[in-house]
Structure 1
Amino acid sequence: MTHEQEIEVTRMPAHHEVGAAPDAAVAAPVRNTGAPSKPRFLGVDVTRGIALVAMLAANIYDPLGPDGGPSLAGMTVIGRSATLFVMVAGISLAFITGGRHPVQGRARRAARANIAARAVLIGAIGLALGYVATISVILAYYGAFFLLAIPLVGLRPRTLAGIAGGLVVVSPLILLASYALGWSPAFDPLTLTSPLTDPVGFAQQLLVTGDFPAVTNMAYICAGLAIGRLNLSSTTVARRLLVGGLATAVVTWFVSWLVLYPLGGLQHLLAAGAGATPDQVVWDSETVPSWWWLGLLVHHSGTPLDMLHTLGCAIAVLGAVLLVTKLPAARRLLWPIGVAGAMTLTIYSAHTPLADSDLMGDNLLARYLVIMAVALPFAVLWHKYLGQGPLERFVAAGANRARAAVLAAPDRSGVDRRGGHLAPVPAVPRTESRPSDRRIGSDPADRPASDPPGSTAR
């Protein structure tokens, strides 16, 4: 039983599952029980863990080194790590809503309530961290992403991919238009009082002008939602993700090089004030009102090439990890990264006050290694003795209560939103009510990470 099979819905067999193949008619019952024999998908956890490790490095290092040239982090993880982080969040949203077999009817409404609660709680954590963080915290933006994703969870993978592609085309134009309107990039810390003191500026920063604006990052959420509807246990799917992601990353890099150098885009951008030096333009420039800007791959710039390139890299990493974690030896080796990947909210939150602090002085490598030397053993030991991470448990508890409230509410209409009649749901014995509730529309991320390969619990 794969972990995508997460709920059991009983409904009259009159319609097709949303997001399933056209010939996947709904049966009664549709079995999707979420049996915990494989509590988590290690490949996805490891991918999330890699995103976390890379994100910590991106938050500690600058894109340019002391000599003015690109740093190693600037050439590898800055920008790409955030895209991977957000894309995997989209995959988690797909799992919450049924994975390959999207939930329907009341179960879907319950899953949407789950996502809404997660959005509020994660966003609140991010806003609280704004008081102590030394970096721009992505969690407040995550809350916005999750809320915006709620209407999208019932869409088919192809539709989601189409929306992602549309955002790749449209969002750079929105960014250019916002610049023309005088909406300069906003990097002020977002806190719990921001929605109250400046609601318009708060929304503007989350949606368009901030470090991780929804207008661009929702493309990664949609891509993750679409990928999460695939059979990620399939070797063929993993290979296609790897090859397709690599091809996208390489082609976009070549196109950017062509625009900047043979076609002269770099000189136009220097003249437009995108940067003081060629390296600054290429690796750390700001948005400028020039069509040549669209040819850049600058981190977090939101250009079409940047979005496609980082998304291609993210998809390739996922595909590679899914393939590698099929090997028993690799599963054992990467299991600690997977455990950290199941505890990203806690570890990420804990590092935010330290990333740009005086810890280890100017020795950025030492600062990074100290944080990692604490984070990984902490994750493994906490998982071994206490299971789910502390912040993950807090968010899961609130999200599960929201889901349970929807499931417990009486359905007075007896008709789902598409007009199909819902079959009666049998009463659940008291002794089984809580475990059963957790299975309906639940997120695999709410359960502890799987034990190391070779143990009795997989």
Structure 2
Amino acid sequence: MVSSGPLENSFSTPPAIRLAGLDIARFLAFVGMVLVNFKVATNASMSAETPSWLASMHPLLEGRAAALFVLLAGLGIGFGAQKAFNKGVSAADIRKKQAKRGLILFAFGLLNLIIFDADILHFYGIYFLLACIALTGNRKSLLTLAFVIILFSPALHFVFDYEAGWDWQTLQYEGLWSPDGFIRNTFYNGFHPVFPWISFLLFGMALAQLNLQSATVRLRIAGAGLALMFAGALFAQMGRDIIALPEVAQDQEFVELVQALMSSSPIPPSPIYMISASGAALVVLVFCLWLGDWFGQRAWMKPILTTGQQALTLYIAHIIVGMVIMEAMGWIAMAGSEPDPPTLEQVSFYSGFFLIGCMIYAVTWHHYLGAGPLERLLRKLSA
């Protein structure tokens, strides 16, 4: 017997309809993560010739591309849950499948973490596992939980030392594989800590309960996104103005408190960053949904769509393939050697070539074999 609950009447968009815009959004999120991760991995620096647009683009992408990625994962969870519910699957079985996916992603992430310290997949696994609790929540409860987590996560700064484990010069985390270091990194002070990053997933799950095919709904989402971005920018500037006050600048503890609450930087993920990044993700999502409506059936859009559909496979590939090539080029430190950091232009140029290669692969694989290898494996293991 199918259990009834909030999930039953929550959704307005038939999940069976694939929205091309979601694949476009996944593609853009993947592009952003490649640009950011390649820059971080190589410690790329700006030169006198670095174009101003390129220099300002990377800070905007940091933390925002990954936030969009997580929000889209929440949308996928919401759509998948409703699709299963419509087929008569019980809430318990939906949670069981969701938990399997979380455990598999966590395992993938642990393997990836050995190579790349800024891995996001093991965080994904925890997000997915915790999302099982809220899987049948209605839109209001999901949004409320997300905002509560965002607002109260800074309280952890009064209990735990955010600096613990970090060498900010090298972005290395000491004791990552120790029990206390791993838990601290995963839930509090890692690159994408569960608190508050799981809020992006909850926002996505809430969005899945809206009719994303409706122009009115899209405009409201975009309006909310712009409002969040404006509020984030306003409060971030207020924070900078407060820190700049002579009497405040001398109080290091108060400066750190203001930064924890009002910084727009993803590290640490302050409420202002979370609000601003959420707003940006909403605006980009709506833009992509309309792009999908207008151009989703065009032949030139196929490489973008198929690349977005294989985001999991390509995320792993950009580390195993993309970063290994950079290591061979001497851009990343190898055992017993010193790296030769490239310029931001060089890394961006390399990123562009790598992304073109990803698109060629995605189209070819999709033509002959359909779903990506890791997407197919994840689906099979979690069945």
TM bracket (short chain): 0.7 to 0.9
Does the alignment pair 1:162 with 2:144? Answer: yes
- Answer yes or no: is 1:147 the counterpart of 2:147: no
Q: Distance in 1 between matches of 2:55 and 2:247?
A: 24
User: Is 1:41 aligned to residue 30 of structure 2?
Assistant: no
Q: 1:309 aligns with which of 262, 276, 284?
A: 276
2:354 is paired with a residue whose SS is helix
Find the counterpart in structure 1 of residue 92 from structure 2. 109
Secondary structure, aligned partner of 1:201: helix
Distance 1:238 1:322 in 2: 8
Which residue is equivalent to 2:263?
296
Check conservation: 1:343, 1:388, Cα contact below 8 A. Answer: yes
Q: Specify which structure has the higher proportion of helix.
A: 2
Shift in Å, 1:378: 0.6
Under a length normalisation based on structure 2, what TM-score does the superposition of the two structures give? 0.82
Q: 2:212 matched to 1:212? A: no
Separation of aligned partners in 2, 1:292 and 1:17: 38
The answer on whether the counterparts of 1:65 and 1:71 sit within 8 Å (CA) in structure 2 is: no
User: What number of residue pairs does the alignment pair up?
Assistant: 357
1:432-451 mapped onto 2 (5 Å cutoff): none
Identify unmatched segments of 5+ residues in structure 2. Answer: 332-341
Relative to the length of structure 1, the TM-score reads 0.69
**1:254–1:394 CA distance, 2 compared to 1 (3 A):** same
AA matched with 1:20:
N
Listed one character per residue, the Cα deviations across residues 23-58 of structure 1 (whole Å, up to 9, x for unaligned) are x9xxxxxxx8x76xx5x3211111111111111111
The answer to whether the aligner puts 1:129 opposite 2:112 as a matched pair is yes
For 2:248 and 2:307, how far apart are their aligned partners in 1?
A: 41
Check the 8 A contact 1:265/1:295 in 2, yes or no. no
Alignment of 1:396-415 (within 5 A): 396-400=379-383
Distance 1:142-1:21 versus aligned 2 partners, 3 A rule: closer
The separation in 2 between residues aligned to 1:53 and 1:91, in whole angstroms, is 19
CA–CA distance in structure 1, aligned partners of residues 144 and 98 of structure 2: 22
CA distance in 2: counterparts of 1:220 and 1:379, whole angstroms: 27
Within 5 Å, give how 1:180-329 maps onto structure 2: 183-185=164-166, 194=177, 198-261=178-241, 263-265=242-244, 271=250, 289-328=256-295
Report the 3-state secondary structure (helix = DSSP H, G, I; strand = E; otherwise coil) of the residue aligned with 1:98: helix
1:171-197: per-residue Cα shift (whole Å, max 9, x none)? 1222443227x7455865799x94xxx
Q: What residue is the counterpart of 1:279 in the other structure?
A: none
Given that residues 141 and 212 in structure 1 are in contact (C-alpha distance below 8 angstroms), is that contact kept between their aligned partners in structure 2?
A: yes
Question: 1:382 — aligned with what?
Answer: 365
Distance 1:204-1:259 versus aligned 2 partners, 3 A rule:
closer
Tell whether the 8 Å contact from 1:102 to 1:154 is kept in structure 2 after alignment. Answer: no
Q: Distance in 2 between matches of 1:306 and 1:140?
A: 22
**Alpha-carbon distance between aligned partners in 2 of 1:306 and 1:212, rounded to the nearest angstrom:** 12
State the one-letter code of the partner of 1:368. Answer: S
Aligned to 1:20: 9
User: Per the alignment, do residues 329 and 165 of structure 1 end up closer, same or farther by CA in structure 2, a change over 3 Å counting?
Assistant: closer
- Gaps in structure 1 of 5+ consecutive residues: 1-9, 25-31, 275-286, 401-458
Go from structure 1 to structure 2 and tell me whether the alpha carbon gap of 1:122 and 1:190 turns closer, same or farther (over 3 Å shift). Answer: farther
The residue matched to 1:61 in structure 2 has which SS? helix
1:52 equivalent to 2:27? Answer: no
Structure 2 CA distance for partners of 1:42 and 1:168, relative to 1, 3 Å: same
Distance 1:190 1:126 in 2: 18
Distance 1:45 1:272, change over 3 A: farther
Name 2:65's counterpart in structure 1: 81
1:64: how far off? 8.5
What is the CA-CA distance between 1:170 and the residue it aligns to?
0.6
Deviation per residue, 1:64-91 (Å, 9 max, x gap): 8436999334332111111101111111
- Structure-2 change in CA distance of 1:210 and 1:48 (3 Å): same
- Distance, in Å, in 1 between the alignment partners of 2:317 and 2:131 is 26
| Percent identity for Structure 1 against Structure 2 | 24
The verdict on how the C-alpha distance between 1:104 and 1:397 changes in structure 2, with shifts beyond 3 A counting, is: closer
How far does residue 347 in structure 1 lie from its aligned partner after superposition? 0.4
Kept after mapping to 1: 8 A contact 2:243/2:258: no
From 328, 351, 358, the counterpart of 2:327? 358
What is the Cα deviation at residue 332 of structure 1? 4.5
